[in-house]
Amino acid sequence: MNVNQPAPPGVPYGQPQPGYTGYQSSYGGQPGPIIPPSPYGAYNGPMPGYQQLPPPGVPRAPPSSGTPPASTTVRGPSSQSAYGQFGQGDVQNGPSSTVQMQRAPVSQPFVPAPVAPLVNQPAAFQPYGPPPTSAQVTTQMAGMQISGPAGPPPSGLGYGLPPTSMASASGSFQGSNLYGSYPQNLAPPTSLAQAHPGAQTPQCCAPMQASSFPPSAAGGPRPPSIAGPSMPGQSFGGPPVSQSNHASSPPPQTQPPMPGPPGPPPPMHSSQPGYQLQQNGSFGPARGPQPNYGGAYSGAPNFASPPGPPQPPPPKRLDPDSIPSPIQVIEDDRNNRGSEPFVTGARGQVPPLVTTNFLVKDQGNASPRYIRCTSYNIPCTSDMAKQAQVPLAAVIKPLAKLPPEEAPPYVVDHGESGPVRCNRCKAYMCPFMQFIEGGRRFQCCFCSCVTEVPPQYFQHLDHTGKRVDFYDRPELSLGSYEFLATVDYCKNNKFPRPPAFIFMIDVSYNAVRSGLVRLLCEELKSLLDFLPREGGAEESAIRVGFVTYNKVLHFYNVKSSLAQPQMMVVSDVADMFVPLLDGFLVNVSESRTVITSLLDQIPEMFADTRETETVFAPVIQAGMEALKAAECPGKLFLFHTSLPIAEAPGKLKNRDDRKLLNTDKEKTLFQPQTGFYQSLAKECVAQGCCVDLFLFPNQYVDVATLGVVPYHTGGSIYKYACFQVESDQERFLSDLRRDVQKDVGFDAVMRVRTSTGIRATDFFGAFYMSNTTDVELAGLDGDKTVTVEFKHDDRLSEDSGALIQCALLYTSCAGQRRLRIHNLSLNCCTQLADLYRNCETDTLINYLAKLAYRGVLSSPVKTVRDALISQCAQILACYRKNCASPSSAGQLILPECMKLLPVYLNCVLKSDVLQPGVEVTTDDRAYVRQLVTSMDVAETNVFFYPRLLPLTKVPVESSAEPPAVRASEERLSKGDVYLLENGLNLFLWVGASVQQGVVQSLFSVPSFSQINSGLSALPVLENPLSKRVRDLIDSFRAQRSRYMKLIVVKQEDKLEMLFKHFLVEDKSLSGGASYVDFLCHMHKEIRQLLS
């Protein structure tokens, strides 16, 4: 459904987008329509056959654009078709096929020609997916049918429903009704269904197609995304689902019919034009569908009629396959946009999804790796923005690590005078600055103030008004670059000294007993050789220092001239100070022998310790004071085990109280116990002292309080509950290595400037702010993200768009003071449809999650959840009201770009922070809360909707990642093995009836029952499957900033509970709604808003 709609908007966009290349020249954007066709052709050309389809659509698009909604629906199909192919492969979902069926008809009519190719593909796929799927499907089907019965008897003809949809298509409303049949039962579901109908009904044919194409175009806006992508995604979800999405309701219904598909599918496909497949999500499996269709049609009527009655019988459930599927969307985007580089030249381009691998070519706007926005086309007025309720936010990762193929930002040195800046707003020179008067002055693109060009920077302009040295100067031609800062940009007007790392190790009883101290000291000996260094430097400029502590602190003098390290004990923890100056922070290579000797002796010295109490705040104070004394920024690595109960400032008490859950006081669990840490954090930030905290708790340690300083100083927290060297060593060491070796900027200040009309109003992330504009980060690494929210403070104009410049002043790890600048230009719109067409749901979720996670500090969790739901409902309702084609109120219509919003939102709502299960500790919640706050879009995406990959479905020889499946228990086959990851956790789920051969080759045991549940590593076996699985696990780990410990879970085992927690589309034990239920709920909310 969403799909459909987006599609429409897409059309217009799409055109422009395609035009991109061309466009750039002619920003007009809109003109697109005219040009589009041709451009598309060009683009599409390169694209797979599918895309071709869209092109055709495009032409039609124009008209479609006229009728956005319709178009959307259409798109659905088209895109689906494209996806479909994939989808089939992936999904296997028989059910989907049914959907396809439905669409098939539709699509066919539309783009027969293009379809054809698609079809073929699907066919090819079918083989894979179908078989297994079908089985499942059938079962599902059965269920579905039942539901069907509930509704209209014809349900059996699930397909019939689709037809209905068809009908609905004709009359989208009807469609909704149809849905109703399934959905009807459940009011909400119905709505969904309805949505679908709308989409599907799109009557697909006429309007639909038109739209569809456009959509592709729309999706296309970003060339890759081409309407198609989004659409596809849907279709993928469950192919059927996707379709359903488009055609909202119908698909679901169709799905039930699925049963049919299984059998028939093959034929169906063939029979069906590729189109169908495509549309439906290639469920093409359609085969069944076709027949269904027939039925569907008939059914349709039924639906129509049933609507009323069915609802009462709600028993019927919405078919999960018919609702938008994240898997499908991701897959579609990958296919459509993963192959071409993303060129950032044009304004307001929506980048490919974070899950897609793509290359970026910086041509004047910052790479999406640095900045992603919730929307790339923002309303011109605040009224519009308010109406849409779509938050305007950018997720900025200023020091993001780039893939090796992309060049890091160039460093520009403007000499002693420093970077060229606007006189008034102090914005830095960037590609959007307008040079006037023959190049003697430039007009600021942010505040319009005219500034003299410094003489040494003067350059003539060419006939187009561009400076002649345009291509020679990164700051004029690129979106991201760095300036060397002058002494004016330094604290106290002194160039900073190279930073220092201080390792502060808890040596209390717990730490020693668990083996942590020994392990850590051993590791540090080698790790110190890998401190971050700049560029080609032979040796890191970073100095290191060591502190151990229990309830007193031990500093070490490791001066190179000493034969033995010296320990200095400071027991005056109430009034911390640094006992030595010289010899505490040393160069590793100079003091190597002394350091090695120290690290050898630390475990010995404390081997027999009985001290169980620890302090915490004084440790940070000590580190900070040490940096202050050395007059340098730096980072503290704190290794801590227990609640700091020793008498000292920042002493904490155990306040963990589960009785507070779901009360107004629950928020106190997220708040720090004392304000002490807040002020400590402030001091740390002032000193450029970043704190990384490694926790090894055996019980409650009050992460919410201990985390305050790391949080505000831009540090990281790592938590290893019940640390055991044997099982957790690899994870800890891997995290430690990465944390120590990663590039860090110190003593950073980030400022986000915007062109007139919008203003950065709110910031989320791990940092400290002493005023309303400057984000202060004692330390910032490539993993940390800051989310910035913008608000209107004036009107924007469509012509000039909106600009964002993020300037980060920081000290590099060699002690160089630098400015990193990221620029991004966005479009502005006067039509809400444009907004909805250029949104990015992943970013939106990132923002919403952070907003909600901050909300729990001040409001009861329930309030926060309700606020989230209502905001999303408003977003969707606004779309429905203003952008969707008129349709029945009972129909759920989602914007193409946001069709995953409900599922993702549900994941956020069910997350541990907002709805904790019994097994989730207070510390876990606080930990996750802080973690999420500095996550980037890719991380939040997988964190909230985990990746679930079947391992035995794809031939072992294949090097590609197996296609993901949706995170639902229904998708698990007893006979398969699955890998699930969410960025923090990694599970290997083994079905109860998995083949013995598989068990043998993976675990080296003869049978399922002999697999050791809870295993944390796979044996290294020389067989293709084992190797492949281990490679896959390794590649997962490599993608994430934290090492994920593997947990092997057997089906029906008690550990499975843990695993099921991550099957986010299902009902959760803690009361979280299933995807289907939640969708229904959302629909209800939207309807309420609309009425």
Shortest Å distance, C-beta 610 to other proteins: 5
**Shortest Cβ distance from residue 502 to other proteins (Å)?**
17
CA distances, 197 to each of 175, 215, 300, 1011 (Å): 4, 17, 10, 47
- Determine which residue in the list 38, 270, 387, 566 makes contact with other proteins, applying CB under 8 A: 566
Contact yes or no for 332/232 (Cβ under 8 A): yes
Q: Which is nearer to other proteins, 297 or 555 (CB)?
A: 555
Q: Which of residues 50-109 bind other proteins (CB under 8 A)?
A: none
Closest by CA to 364, choosing from 453, 475, 225, 484, is 475
H-helix or E-strand spanning residue 638: strand 634-640
Q: From the CB of 611, what's the least distance to other proteins, in Å?
A: 7
- Pairing status of strand 342-343 against strand 802-811: unpaired
C-beta of 511: minimal distance to other proteins in Å? Answer: 13
Question: Which range binds other proteins by CB under 8 A, 202-210, 346-354, 533-541, 558-566?
Answer: 558-566
Could you tell me the maximum CA-CA distance found in the chain, to the nearest angstrom? Answer: 92
Q: Could you tell me which of 733, 742, 765, 736 has the C-alpha nearest to residue 752? A: 765
980 is a contact residue toward other proteins (CB under 8 A):
no
Q: What is the rounded CA–CA span in Å between residue 895 and residue 170?
A: 20
- What are residue 531's phi and psi, to 5 degrees? -65, 150
Dist. CA 142–CA 749, nearest whole Å: 60
CB of 992 to other proteins, least distance (A): 52
- C-beta closer to other proteins: residue 509 or 879: 509
Q: Tell the smallest beta-carbon distance from residue 599 to other proteins (Å).
A: 11
Cα 541 from Cα 869, distance rounded (Å):
50
d(CA 162, CA 175): 8
Residue 568 or 920: the one with the smaller Cβ distance to other proteins is 568
Q: Which is nearer to other proteins, 609 or 761 (CB)?
A: 609
Residue where the block lists tokens 């400071």? 570
631 binds other proteins (CB under 8 A): no
According to DSSP, the β-strands at 634-640 and 689-695 are: parallel
CB of 596 to other proteins, least distance (A): 13
Closest to 820 (Cα-Cα) out of 807, 811, 832: 807
The span from the CA of 846 to the CA of 934, in Å, is 10
> Whose CA is closest to 244, among 978, 1084, 1075?
1075
In 937-1060, alpha helices (H): 937-944, 996-1003, 1024-1039, 1056-1060
Specify the residue, 29 or 603, whose C-beta has the smaller distance to other proteins. 603
* Percent of residues in the chain assigned helix, strand, coil, to nearest 5: 45, 15, 40
Which one of residues 135, 359, 411, 580 is an interface residue with other proteins (CB under 8 A)? Answer: 580
Using rule CB under 8 A, residue 565 touches other proteins: yes
Q: Of residues 572, 631, 866, 919, which one binds other proteins by CB under 8 A?
A: 572
**Residue 1052 interacts with other proteins (CB under 8 A): yes or no:** no
The verdict on 568 binding other proteins (CB under 8 A) reads yes
Q: How far is the CB of 601 from other proteins (least distance, A)?
A: 5
**Which amino acid belongs to residue 787?**
T
Judged by beta carbon, residue 568 or residue 661, the one nearer other proteins is 568
Residues in 518-557 at the binding interface with other proteins, rule: CB under 8 A: 552, 554-556
Q: Which of 464, 493, 526, 571 binds other proteins (CB under 8 A)?
A: 571
Q: Which is nearer to other proteins, 508 or 888 (CB)?
A: 508
Interface residue with other proteins among 413, 488, 575, 1031 (CB under 8 A) is 575
Interaction between residue 560 and other proteins (CB under 8 A): no
Q: Does residue 492 interact with other proteins by CB under 8 A?
A: no
Pairwise CA distance, residues 96 & 236, whole Å: 9
- Chosen residue from 131, 579, 975, 1014 binding other proteins by CB under 8 A: 579
d(CA 733, CA 524): 10
The CB-of-583 to other proteins minimum distance in angstroms stands at 8
Residue 779 — φ and ψ, nearest 5°? -145, 150
770, burial (CB in 10 Å: exposed 0-12, middle 13-18, buried 19+): exposed
The reply on whether position 780 binds other proteins by CB under 8 A is: no
Q: How many residues bind other proteins (CB under 8 A)?
A: 32
Give the one residue of 124, 581, 918, 1069 binding other proteins; rule: CB under 8 A. Answer: 581
Cβ proximity to other proteins: between 512 and 844 the closer is 512
Question: Does residue 1071 come out as left (phi exceeding 0), alpha (psi in the -120 to 50 range) or beta?
Answer: left
- Closest approach, Cβ 591 to other proteins, in A, equals 14
Q: Which is nearer to other proteins, 340 or 600 (CB)?
A: 600
Smallest gap, in angstroms, from Cβ of residue 651 to other proteins? 15
Q: Measured from the CB atom, is 562 or 1005 closer to other proteins?
A: 562
Question: Which residue, 555 or 732, has its beta carbon nearer to other proteins?
Answer: 555
Find the angle CA(920)-CA(926)-CA(931) to the nearest 5 degrees: 110
> Which two structure tokens, joined as six digits, stand for 477?
């031609």
Q: Which is nearer to other proteins, 538 or 608 (CB)?
A: 608
Q: How far is CA 141 from the centre of its chain?
A: 32
Interface with other proteins (CB under 8 A), residue from 472, 582, 631, 919 = 582
Task: Give the shortest CB-393-to-other proteins separation in angstroms.
Answer: 47
Closer residue to other proteins (CB): 463 or 610: 610
101, 286 contact by CB (below 8 A): yes
- Separation of alpha carbons 725 and 622, rounded Å: 28
Residue 530 or residue 577: which is nearer to other proteins going by CB? 577
Q: Which stretch binds other proteins (CB under 8 A): 568-576, 791-799, 830-838, 949-957?
A: 568-576
Q: Which residue has the tokens 């099921």?
A: 1060
Written as six digits, the tokens of 258 are: 């699925």
Which of positions 592-621 make contact with other proteins (CB under 8 A)? 597-598, 601, 604-611
Minimum distance between the CB of residue 845 and other proteins, rounded to whole angstroms?
50
- Between 327 and 502, name the residue whose CB sits nearer to other proteins: 502
Does residue number 919 form part of the binding site for other proteins (CB under 8 A)?
Answer: no
Here the tokens at position 24 are 């750039």
Q: Is 565 or 963 the residue whose CB approaches other proteins more closely?
A: 565
- Smallest gap from Cβ 504 to other proteins, in A, equals 16
The answer to whether 811 touches 499, Cβ cutoff 8 Å, is: yes
Minimum Å gap between C-beta 608 and other proteins is 5
| DSSP letter string, 873-915 | HHHHHHHHHHTSPP--TT-----GGGTTHHHHHHHHHHSTTTS
Min dist CB 512 to other proteins, Å, is 10
C-alpha–C-alpha distance, residues 211 and 234, integer Å: 16
Shortest separation between residue 569's beta carbon and other proteins, angstroms: 4
Asked if residue 181 lies in contact with residue 163, where contact means CB atoms within 8 angstroms, the answer is: no
Span of 63-71, 561-569, 650-658, 931-939 interacting with other proteins by CB under 8 A: 561-569
- Closest by alpha carbon to 1048, among 998, 1001, 1000, 1013? 1013
Note the residues at the interface with other proteins (CB under 8 A): 552, 554-556, 562, 564-572, 575, 577, 579-583, 597-598, 601, 604-611
